[in-house]
Every structure is written in C-alpha cells, then in structure tokens.
Amino acid sequence: MKRIGLFLLTNIAVILVLSVVAHLFGLNRYLEADGTLNLTTLLLFCAIFGMGGSFISLLMSKWVALKMTGAQIIENPRSSQEMWLVNTVKRQAQAAGIGVPDVAIYNAPEPNAFATGSNKNKALVAVSTGLLTHMSQDEVEAVLGHEIGHVANGDMITLTLIQGVVNTFVMFLARIIGHFIDRAVLKNEGGYGMGYFLSVIVLQIVFGILASTIVAWFSRQREFRADLAGAHLAGRRKMISALERLKMAHGQSTLPEQITAFGISGGKISRMFSTHPPLEERIAALQRAEG
C-alpha cells in the first residue's frame, strides 16, 4: 500500500503547488477569451500540468518514500540478516533482468514492504522490521520477489501515465466548474477572482480523491501479476505461504490497509479505494495457476 499511497499523496501535493504557481503567474488568463472559456486551450493546459505533475511525483517517489518512512538504505550490511536481504534482492533482480535496487529497512511494527522509483534499474525495495519479525525467511523471500515483480513489470511507470491522464481531467473539470462558480454564482465578469482559485483548489482535491479509485483499480490488477512474479522468483508455495501468514496473523480474511504488506479492508466503498485485492482472491489465483 505504501508505494501507491505515497505516490498519490505526492501527486496531489504537486498538482496543488502547480495550481498555485499558475494562479500567481496569471496563467489562468490565457484560458479565457472574450469572457468565454477556451476548452481547447484549457485541455492543453491541464494535460501539460497534469502529466507534468505525475512525472514530477514519479521522480520524487524514492526520495519521498525514504523521508516519510525513515527507511535506511543498507550501504554496508551489518548483520547476516541484512546481508541475506541484499543478496536475495540482487539475485532476484538479476533473474528478473533489472538493475539491482537499493535495499532499505524501516522501523514499523506492522508487516509491510514496498518498492518504488522512477526507473526499473534504479529502484528502491524497503521492508519493515515487523515483516522481518513476523515472517519466516522463505516468506520474506516471496515478499521481496513480489516487490521485484512490481519493478520489473514497470508498474510505477504505467501508474504515472494513468495518473497523468487522471490529473488532466481532474484539473479540466475543476476549472470548468470553477469558471461557472466564478461567473454564475459570484458574478465576477472580468478575470478570475479568489473565489475561482479557492473553488478550483477544493474541487481538485475532491475530484482527485474520487479519481484515485481508478488508480486503485489499476493497482489491484497489478497485484496479481506481482504475486505471479513472486511465485516465479521465490517459489509458488512460498508466495502462498506469505499471503496466508498475513491472513492468519490478523485472524481475518482481509486486513486493514494501514497494517498490510499487501492486504485490503472489506466493504464495497473501501474496496473501491483499496489498492490491493482481498487475500483470499490472491491466494486462490495462485492456487489456480499452480494447477
């Protein structure tokens, strides 16, 4: 979850900053001619800022992940466990045909792991201390294979492209409605006032949260592929065992998002925003593939 969550939060922050910059430099005035909103210019404006914001978020993803989790990259392994982690990631990366990612550990009691980075040859794979405590070595190996799978499959790049398209339409719709509020509700007849700016910011946040369901849906589909990658790199039984360990450890079929390595919470609404499918579905998918 952290991989997607950090990216989405960074993306929203970047888009808001870009919107403020556009307002301060008066770029919004180019979107209007003779009091009429120029939809073609607006769409181009939103595409440039939306895609740009998404790629800026991607470029920042590794740095943000390290800062927000406090993860420490293993430069020189200080224990047999750290040496094993580095060697396992190196072996799996070579098998997957990608550059060896940086390996990091961060302090957190919950079992968790994530991979991020702007380039599949310069990625980051991080695991929590809780993961190392609650899982066997075979299960940790499967989790690492799962994260390497995300990197090898180019999930962050694909996510960036999808988020860029989503950003474009979020900004587009927010400005159309903001224009209507500024003209029809606030009766502002010339230029754009503070009411337009504030309404656009609020609408971007609301639409951005709603649009995150699209990104979440994409993420759920990619989890199955990452599971298969983990099964290929570490062994199918190890991957199934890692998923079952999560399920058994918390005594429920699906897990709260804030404490999962790759489980989700239940309920129709929560599922729409969940970045991971239920554990039973993932286990069943691996078992079917096994047959």
Q: Are 249 and 111 in contact (CB under 8 A)?
A: yes
Between CA 127 and CA 199 the distance in angstroms is 40
HSE, CB side, 13 Å, CA atoms: give it for residue 36.
4
CA distance 114 to 136: 18
Angle at 67 between CA 62 and CA 70, to 5 degrees: 110
Among the listed residues 32, 147, 223, 257, the single catalytic one is 147
Among this protein's residues, is 147 annotated catalytic? yes
Buried b / exposed e across 12-40, counting CB within 10 Å, b at 16+?
A: bebbeebbeebbeeeebeebbeeeeeeee
Q: Are strands 72-73 and 102-106 parallel, antiparallel or unpaired?
A: antiparallel
What residues are labeled active site?
147
